[in-house]
Structure 1
């Protein structure tokens, strides 16, 4: 490299896995991320694997079939597609693709053999679900990828490490053959720089602790941790302010509000509770900073999660990621 040449920047991840403790809003963040990553004239795919049809509810559309469907348009004009992956459908597709079962495969499905197989071998279920993500991420048309990015709304933090570490599960099912080859290909993608696993949390004690545990587990498994995304952050009102009874009484009087002792004391208690909470949140931010991964904060949506709110989160993610 010539001495004045800038170092080559590493390629951005193509597969973005989003996990988080239940209640942190990981599906909302995954949807906003899919919108943020959709370039003008391009497209992204948002995938869910838990059978909850959360994406359909979020985008106010009909339940998603086992097919890629357009669900929204990003602020910059990019298109967002979505897919709800069903393990039974994925296995049937796999058998048809690799074993050419045709009508025999349909007969197995009617007999319940496919559901039986995924029930007795739960590792196979995860391999099929992540395998479909890999297929979509690597699919090409006219020499270029179909999707500019693929975002996976993954299982919550308590299960995500096992879900993504498909190589271990595959070794329990098959030492060789198509299933092992298939799962090894998935594992190579998920453990590579083409993937980033983002962990969603909130500024609360339990989600932050679970985030730290999950980052440790993912790192130990050599799965690429991306960003820690703090969702639903409230604005820091009264930060650094000295709140007193006299000051509250004066300010209330200025705007024509009651200044009785009960009102002033009630407001003072709320103000001090809020400041105490800000101190706790500052400590939690320090804990997240010690994880040594980029931390991105998303604002609390006062009016709830709607199309406008998703656009707001997408814009914020586009600015920071």
Structure 2
């Protein structure tokens, strides 16, 4: 998640700096940028360049600033509102698909504030259909149906999920079994459903959830054991609160194609590995990739795990887990658009 923090007062700016330092220690926060004053100038930029905007200001200023920019719950960024004293963190926009509710919980813990969340499913301890999509990195093909299904869930009605029996949906079952929020589901199987898609239905209403491609990029020292690489992968996937079975592909650089630890891990998990050509890595550019001068001097590229993950996930993919080191292993995770 790329986060912008904007403040209008000196006190708010101080809080913004403190919050930035804390957020940057989180591997799921790809970058955090600070902005101060000039809200009329900055908001139109922040709204389209960041996954989340944290506004430290009066709610009236925030609401008037974002009102002309709001388009859709599918595309709008998460927006949080914090008072200058850091007493309250309010999930203001895109609570589910945008991730504002979960970010509100995270930020309130970091600064010792009270989280304010008002979405109906959350306050009634129900699992929203859009929460499932967000948590499992799924796209919603027909988002206009979200309201109908979430209302049905609030009313305690039974929702049907149909999946292809030939596809591995263990990550979905594990997620549903471990989730503490209530939802009444029946699961059916049909070979007519496209693999990697989930059909949600009730009465005449249907909603399709489709997997985004989730790629784990791996860098490691020469000769690193499979078990050590696996430990790093497990920790990073755990930080995203998904099952390893949700991973679609492993990725690394071409220079690692004979690395036994990576090859063994691919075989052990039955997950394919893509070794990206060095020329592609040399040409790849992204402001989100951390640059290593050591790797550059040794291999002629600025990094391995982040660019390998992004290239393998496809055009307009984005990082959801920045490069993090685990005892000689680096892990980054990207998802397709």
Q: TM-score, normalised by structure 2?
A: 0.30
Decide which structure has greater strand share. 2
The structure with the largest alpha-carbon Rg is: 1
Q: Greater share of helix residues, 1 or 2?
A: 1
- Which one has more relative contact order, counting CA pairs under 8 Å at least 6 apart? 1
